[in-house]
């Protein structure tokens, strides 16, 4: 098995839709398989449907080992993010497609633009929105949203996690504000939400 990338994801998505739309994960695993029983195999040719359930589960576990990134895998890099007035710079683990990325907060304008691009490119709105938030790659400024298609699946996933760190507000973070509003106390006494890596001043 090999690492997959954005091209594999796009092809897996098309193949999944052609088969009913619920086989993306399986199609992506098929594209990661480049050898079967010691013999080379073309990407996407593995006859997964004929494999036993436990064989498919084993392959799924192997795929996850080399392609899946979780929040805990990159938490140290999130904690070490460098934040300035323009955005947050995150490093990526060794062996990923890029070494670092600087991401900014997105807005409603970015969301509308991402929706148009997703429709035009037949891609995911979420990925287009994440790409639009990227300011620098490996310390080099980018003038427009970079193509993430050639980056590995785990690189793309890590960047989506980083994007969420500065763009997504969780219910837990809103809890103090909701409690303050319900108590009737002045809103200025509610705790502040902070960006990744910043300190309260």
| Residue-wise pLDDT tens digits, 65-92 | 999 999 999 999 999 999 999 999 999 9
Q: Where are the beta strands (DSSP E) in 42-85?
A: 82-83
pLDDT at position 190 over 60? no
Predicted model pTM: 0.81
Q: Quick one: pLDDT band at residue 57, thresholds 50, 70, 90?
A: very high
Phi, psi of 123 (to 5 degrees): -120, -175
Report whether 54 contacts 169 (CB < 8 A). no
User: Between 198 and 11, whose confidence is greater?
Assistant: 11
pLDDT at position 197 over 50? no
Task: Kindly list the domain boundaries of the chain, sorted by start residue.
Answer: 6-67, 71-167
Q: Quick one: pLDDT band at residue 178, thresholds 50, 70, 90?
A: confident
From 3.30.70, 3.30.2220, 2.130.10, 3.40.50, which CATH number describes the 71-167 domain? 3.30.2220
Q: Quick one: pLDDT band at residue 186, thresholds 50, 70, 90?
A: low
């Amino acid at each position: 098995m090999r690492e997959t990338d954005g091209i594999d994801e796009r092809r897996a998505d098309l193949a999944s839709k052609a088969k009913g739309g619920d086989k993306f994960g399986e199609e992506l695993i098929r594209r990661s398989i480049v050898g079967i029983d010691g013999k080379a195999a073309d990407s996407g040719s593995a006859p997964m449907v004929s494999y036993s359930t436990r064989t498919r589960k084993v392959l799924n576990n192997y795929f996850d080992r080399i392609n899946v990134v979780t929040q805990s895998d990159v938490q140290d890099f999130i904690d070490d993010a460098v934040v300035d007035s323009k955005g947050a710079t995150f490093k990526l683990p060794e062996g990923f497609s890029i070494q670092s990325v600087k991401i900014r907060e997105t807005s409603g304008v970015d969301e509308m633009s991402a929706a148009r691009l997703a429709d035009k490119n037949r891609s995911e709105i979420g990925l287009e929105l994440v790409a639009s938030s990227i300011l620098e790659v490996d310390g080099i400024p980018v003038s427009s949203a970079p193509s993430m298609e050639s980056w590995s699946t785990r690189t793309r996933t890590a960047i989506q996690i980083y994007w969420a760190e500065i763009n997504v507000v969780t219910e837990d973070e809103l809890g103090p504000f909701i409690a303050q509003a319900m108590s009737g106390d002045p809103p200025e006494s509610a705790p502040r939400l902070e960006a990744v890596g910043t300190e309260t001043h």
